[in-house]
Amino acid sequence: MSVMEAEVYEAFKAIGVPDEKASAAAQALSNQKPEIAALVGDVGTLKSDVSVLKLDVAALKSDVSILKLDVATLKSDMSVLKVDVAALKSDVSVLKLDVAGLKSDVSILKSDVVTVKLDVAVLKSDLGVVKADVGTLKSDVSSLKASMAVLQWAIGLSTAGVLSLVAKAFLH
């Protein structure tokens, strides 16, 4: 029997509780030690997980910023390409002798535009995935905070119960 169990047992005995009940109460209190230790460990793990998640969110924010810059660059490039296509179409009407060469250039530029559009679509899709991941991480952080609050509450209850038993034991 640990010192704590012995003290609880003696306190119950001092207030006239039968041996079996005093022993059971002391054992029940002792049985709570692993649960409290596990809860404290879980809280520590959750705090560590939250720190890791914060770092991940910061990295994702950085990635999103880079993607936004890339999208802005692609949009600018798209505008330039559109101007180039318009200029080439004007040149085709003016320079009928160079029609064959200009058709080839326009075809190449159209292919580039399609490629750029596909790249933009992929980047938009990636951005959507990143946003979804950020949403999931925010939800996970909220869940972790709620779990941590429940664990803190449970620790508070356990601590309050132990203190109440000890106080009763000393008061009687």
How does pLDDT run across 27-54, given as a tens digit for each residue? 888 888 788 788 889 999 999 999 999 9
CATH 1.10.287.1490 fits 3-171, yes or no: yes
Indicate whether this model's pTM tops 0.85.
no
User: What percent of the chain is modeled with pLDDT above 90?
Assistant: 56
User: Which two three-digit tokens encode residue 75?
Assistant: 């949009």
For residue 1, name the pLDDT band (cuts at 50, 70, 90). low
Query: How many Cβ atoms are within 10 Å of 52's Cβ, its own excluded?
Result: 10
Is the pLDDT score of 96 beyond 70? no
Residue corresponding to tokens 């180039």: 84
Instruction: For residues 22 and 16, give the distance between their C-alpha atoms in angstroms, rounded to a whole number.
Output: 9
Check residue 117 and give its pLDDT. 95
